[in-house]
């Protein structure tokens, strides 16, 4: 696997914007873990993230689970889930992104979002919109969303707007630029999102 110097940081930033979470620890002397879970359409993606963390000797065991619930069409869904090993880097990220126990965006923490981190966020929670692309950020406040829009403009020169229900829309005028930034990182099984 060919990794850049900031691959791990971009994986963590992109994951925290998307589907990842840093697990709280009960004792101060313990370190946090990163928790990752993806559905069957994203199995390749879950294994790709696992491979990156394995490169840094930070990956725990990946498992395939069947989640039974009336919420799902077939009564169940399959997920691929793993937790990282406990490590101080995850404790550090948890402190940065959960300062009061709730996931929060702070400009100083997010201003280093790069191409790979943006692509990970998109692979986690992005989708094709009728004229452009959307990034779901439902767990964040309106203030957080406006910080993210600012970073998209500053880091990538992308025009984006905040919409109801925690959605950031990439403006149609920035559609092709956005696509050109993330495309090199999008796994083949997730290119349907583009």
Q: What pLDDT is attached to residue 78?
A: 78
The whole-number average pLDDT for the span 89-110 is 88
The whole-number average pLDDT for the span 158-172 is 91
Instruction: Decide if 97 is inside a domain.
Output: yes
Instruction: Decide if 2 is inside a domain.
Output: no
Domain encompassing residue 171: 7-193
pLDDT confidence bin for 63, thresholds 50/70/90 = confident
Q: What pLDDT is attached to residue 129?
A: 86
Instruction: Decide if 64 is inside a domain.
Output: yes
Q: What pLDDT is attached to residue 77?
A: 66
**15, 17, 51, 140 from 152: Cα distances, Å:** 16, 13, 27, 16
Instruction: Decide if 104 is inside a domain.
Output: yes
pLDDT of 101 higher than 90: no
Instruction: Decide if 81 is inside a domain.
Output: yes
Range with lowest mean pLDDT among 2-11, 53-62, 151-160: 2-11
Instruction: Decide if 41 is inside a domain.
Output: yes
The whole-number average pLDDT for the span 39-59 is 91
Contacts for 164 with CB less than 8 Å, ≥ 6 apart = none
Q: What pLDDT is attached to residue 102?
A: 84
The whole-number average pLDDT for the span 97-113 is 88
pLDDT of 4 higher than 70: no
Task: Give the containing element (helix H, strand E) for 47.
Answer: helix 43-55
pLDDT of 54 higher than 60: yes
Range with lowest mean pLDDT among 59-73, 104-118, 129-143, 176-190: 59-73
Beta strands in the chain (DSSP E): 21-22, 34-38, 59-68, 76-84, 126-128, 133-136, 160-163, 167-170
Decide if 119 contacts 182 (C-beta within 8 A).
Answer: yes
The whole-number average pLDDT for the span 158-173 is 92
* Nearest Cα residue to 133 out of 107, 160, 96: 160
What CATH code is carried by the domain that includes residue 14? 3.10.28.10
The domain total for the chain is 1
């Amino acid at each position: 696997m060919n990794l850049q110097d900031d691959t791990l940081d971009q994986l963590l930033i992109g994951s925290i914007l998307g589907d990842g979470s840093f697990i709280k620890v009960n004792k101060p002397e313990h370190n946090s873990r990163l928790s990752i879970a993806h559905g069957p359409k994203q199995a390749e993606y879950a294994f790709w993230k696992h491979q990156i963390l394995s490169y840094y000797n930070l990956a725990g065991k990946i498992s395939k689970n069947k989640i039974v619930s009336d919420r799902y069409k077939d009564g169940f869904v399959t997920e691929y889930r793993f937790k990282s090993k406990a490590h101080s880097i995850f404790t550090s990220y948890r402190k940065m992104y959960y300062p009061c126990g709730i996931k929060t965006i702070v400009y100083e923490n997010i201003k280093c979002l790069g191409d790979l981190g943006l692509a990970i966020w998109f692979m986690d929670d992005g989708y094709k919109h009728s004229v452009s692309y959307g990034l779901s950020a439902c767990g964040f406040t309106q203030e957080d969303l406006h910080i993210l829009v600012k970073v998209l403009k500053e880091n990538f020169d992308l025009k984006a707007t905040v919409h109801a229900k925690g959605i950031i829309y990439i403006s149609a005028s920035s559609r092709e630029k956005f696509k050109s930034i993330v495309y090199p990182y999008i796994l083949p099984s997730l290119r349907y999102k583009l």
